[in-house]
Amino acid sequence: MTKREAAIAAVSTPIGEMWLVAEPEGVVEAGWTRLEPPPKRDGVRACASPEALALAERAAEELTLYFAGRLRAFTVPLAPRGTAFQLAVWASLCDIPFGARVSYRDIASAVGRPRAVRAVGQANRANPLPVFIPCHRVVGADGRLVGYAGDALDLKAWLLEHESRVLRAQTLS
């Protein structure tokens, strides 16, 4: 896989611009522009594979639907890169229901390492696909918001409140 097969997309959200990188096998990275610039990949648009371009477009559409309150679960293929432990943690995060909150301890138990609470926190911090892999749904054991995207707790709070609003609106209708 060469870097030139990847496609980069930008998505405007209610809480700032996000970028994402897709390769033919799935979305590999995403981030908040205010926290980190998108990766520089010369000639990405001109040399991206058709599969990567299609996945980038689909991922951008799904993010837009999520932020509009019309999507609860992403279906675009994800292809994060990490250690076996990180991949297990991220897979467990994807099992957290929309609008739910779990603790780092819950995730440590879910991956069969109940004493690895700090390691779960580090895996969350290394999550290359925020929002797609919902690390924002993980809170401290006492329910407090802790750790998110370089200490951008305002983003975490907004995402959790957004999901709560969507669930309330759907319950009322």
The verdict on whether 135 is a catalytic residue reads: yes
163 pairs with which residues across the strands?
none
Q: What is the DSSP letter of 133?
A: B
Q: Which residues pair with 7 in a beta bridge?
A: 22
CA distance 10 to 30: 9
- The CA distance from 80 to 86, in Å, is 9
Given the residues 11, 135, 149, 160, the one annotated as active site: 135
| Tokens 């994807």 sit on residue | 94
169-to-25, 70, 109, 122, 165 alpha-carbon distances in Å: 35, 11, 32, 34, 6
Cα–Cα distance measured from residue 19 to residue 102, given in angstroms and rounded to the nearest whole number: 26
Check if the beta carbon of residue 100 is closer than 8 Å to that of residue 137. Answer: yes
Name the residues annotated as catalytic: 135
